[in-house]
Structure 1
């Protein structure tokens, strides 16, 4: 007879509910009926050790947690700055937020213990400051010039510069193969902290929205506003549906990615040809829509022109998506043959800066092997392969 797990019933129920997992899905994980799961959650009967371990893994909780005498104090939910009417956060979103909070909490404690200096740019401004000034400070602090990117992939340059200044940048579009992140639900979030600020970007988007999201979330850090965002890069007619914080951070992002001096120096014919707009937008790493909104807000084009050009841009964007879909299909075909690079995926998900910090601390004897493995989601004997990705 299988040994029973003397778990705490209300903790088991809390673990499932906090994971936003339905009874039906939880039951499928352990192949039992809903009635049996309810018995476990009500304390009428007990699961086996194997069943309890399976549920703990499904709920993304340590197995030992299920034996606590009462429900633990969980991480505080992030402020929801998403567009009004957005759907409830799914299990995937809840898991990635909690995972990032756990990483951020650990690194913050480490930095405090080591008496690291606080980062002066976190909370340097507030929502009542001029977005242009905040944008310029971000560019100066990170030493970035949008008119002179060093690579054809601006988002990589932004991430590298941000992490060099102490901002941890995490990018992923999945928890595992069956739990994907929906970009309509969550595009990104920021945890504003003086020691260890974190930014998360949903890489389900293509590069231009990802870059805009990154700079938008950096603006959250600069005004010390922790929270979740979606539907960034808004249409100028929908402003009433957005939180003031989001409107401000969008202005900062637009000002940083498309500075006035750059757009004012465009050839006069630029805003009469949607193909030219697409070309300039691509050079700046932004979408045509972002460029058009910026031009309208700077009174370079009027609303009628904006509407005409936006319609043309939508066609260009549709054609672009078709080309991107073809590229993705070819890439997927390659990955199916050789498989995606697991270690590169984990490196991006953890953040390069976080990965390096955990590995350095582990090798210095400051962290247990099991915790290092848990933080990086990589087995200890695979650390060398993970670290190799840092230098590619």
Structure 2
């Protein structure tokens, strides 16, 4: 069988980019690791069939393997991710594919708003890095019309998350969340890689949440990313509030502080905290009360000098183990139309459906944008509008 005259440097780049090594690739191809290593060294060449399969496995366009050198894949938003003091790994193909899909949808919605002569949203970039977290948090609450009583009225984390998303979309911000790339359940997103990202566009801002994260953690990420919008700063985040030193620069620290103050106001927290109650028991109670994770509550107690670091550190280690076990049990099933509305956000979904049903957009194009078969768009509409 004819050999594919691929560039071995591109093969090495593709493997590094996808986070797999020669042994893993060999196993997927049903060949020896030494053969893959010989391809990387340029001593031998894979067949066309093998090269195409490599492109599928590494999620790299087949034509890239014939380029003279690896392409530059600059991210159009800032990378605020951190792992302690160590450099973070390059963003994976899964992230890049979900990011490109979100940007395609964001671009459509931006044009849609401009065609409807909508004004730019006034809160994008309203504050800057020298602003106080409490001032930003107060302005976010005022804009979303969210109060402590709204939080108390919610039965749990999922209901509070839905309320926050609804109010944020009412303000004009697209909110999308998914735990997989497109509709492919074999390509789950990694919480260790990123928890969310945000695009601070004045006409079509978008917040994306990693749906693989716990609901309580998604709430914190949602407000963290919203703070990015108020600062006018686009970026991808994996906020690490369980570490002693918060890394990521001034922007991330300010966004974390804003999210903490919005979700767990310092004054209310201090008034309710009781040193006579055990740390873990009180953290659990406050997590239910404020509709955030126990880690956010524990960190808040440390920041406000109401509890020692070592108690929080022990609690955080136990929580990480519980998260890992819960993530392994997580299911991607459910109503496909409700899932579609969550992945795309109701704001975008309604705009696309409205445009398509008014004949200003082909049903084929609407289905492609929303990831739904054109024949099922009316079922999607019934699901979305039937919940109101």
Normalising by structure 2, what TM-score?
0.77
SS state of the match for residue 197, structure 2? strand
Shift of 1:327: 11
Partner of 2:133: 131
**Structure 2 CA distance, aligned partners of 1:28 and 1:366?**
49
- Number of paired residues? 369
**Structure 2 CA distance, aligned partners of 1:373 and 1:106?**
13
- When residues 272 and 22 of structure 1 are mapped into structure 2, their CA distance, relative to the original with a 3 A threshold, is closer
**Structure 2 CA distance, aligned partners of 1:317 and 1:270?**
23
CA offsets 1:278-336 (integer angstroms, 9 cap, x no match): 1112221112222232233334x2xxx323531563477379x38x957985x75xx8x
- When residues 225 and 286 of structure 1 are mapped into structure 2, their CA distance, relative to the original with a 3 A threshold, is same
Partner of 1:355: 349
**Structure 1 CA distance, aligned partners of 2:341 and 2:383?**
7
SS state of the match for residue 204, structure 1? coil
Q: 1:279 aligns with which of 282, 285, 297?
A: 285
* 1:155/1:207 contact within 8 Å kept: yes
Q: 2:228 aligns with which of 198, 220, 232?
A: 220
1:186 partnered with 2:187: no
Shift of 1:202: 0.7
Partner of 2:359: 365
Shift of 1:27: 11
Partner of 1:85: 86
| Superposition map of 1:1-392 within 5 A | 20=18, 76-83=75-82, 85=86, 87-88=88-89, 89-149=91-151, 150-152=153-155, 153-175=159-181, 176-235=184-243, 237-239=244-246, 241-269=247-275, 272-299=278-305, 301=306, 305-311=307-313, 313-314=315-316, 317=319, 321=322, 329=329, 332=331, 339-390=333-384, 391-392=386-387
- When residues 369 and 34 of structure 1 are mapped into structure 2, their CA distance, relative to the original with a 3 A threshold, is farther
CA offsets 1:146-196 (integer angstroms, 9 cap, x no match): 354232231111111101111111111111122111101111110001011
* 1:112/1:195 contact within 8 Å kept: yes
- When residues 386 and 30 of structure 1 are mapped into structure 2, their CA distance, relative to the original with a 3 A threshold, is farther
SS state of the match for residue 185, structure 1? coil
CA offsets 1:209-253 (integer angstroms, 9 cap, x no match): 111111000000110100000134343x223x3222111100000
- When residues 58 and 370 of structure 1 are mapped into structure 2, their CA distance, relative to the original with a 3 A threshold, is farther
Alpha-carbon RMSD? 4.4
Unaligned runs of 5+ in 1: 1-8, 39-43, 66-70
SS state of the match for residue 190, structure 2? coil
- When residues 275 and 291 of structure 1 are mapped into structure 2, their CA distance, relative to the original with a 3 A threshold, is same
Partner of 1:41: none
**Structure 2 CA distance, aligned partners of 1:294 and 1:307?**
11
- When residues 56 and 345 of structure 1 are mapped into structure 2, their CA distance, relative to the original with a 3 A threshold, is farther
**Structure 2 CA distance, aligned partners of 1:198 and 1:281?**
27
Residue range with higher mean Cα deviation, 287-296 or 370-379: 287-296
* 2:174/2:204 contact within 8 Å kept: yes
Shift of 1:358: 0.9
Shift of 1:203: 1.6
* 2:284/2:294 contact within 8 Å kept: yes
SS state of the match for residue 209, structure 2? strand
SS state of the match for residue 268, structure 1? coil
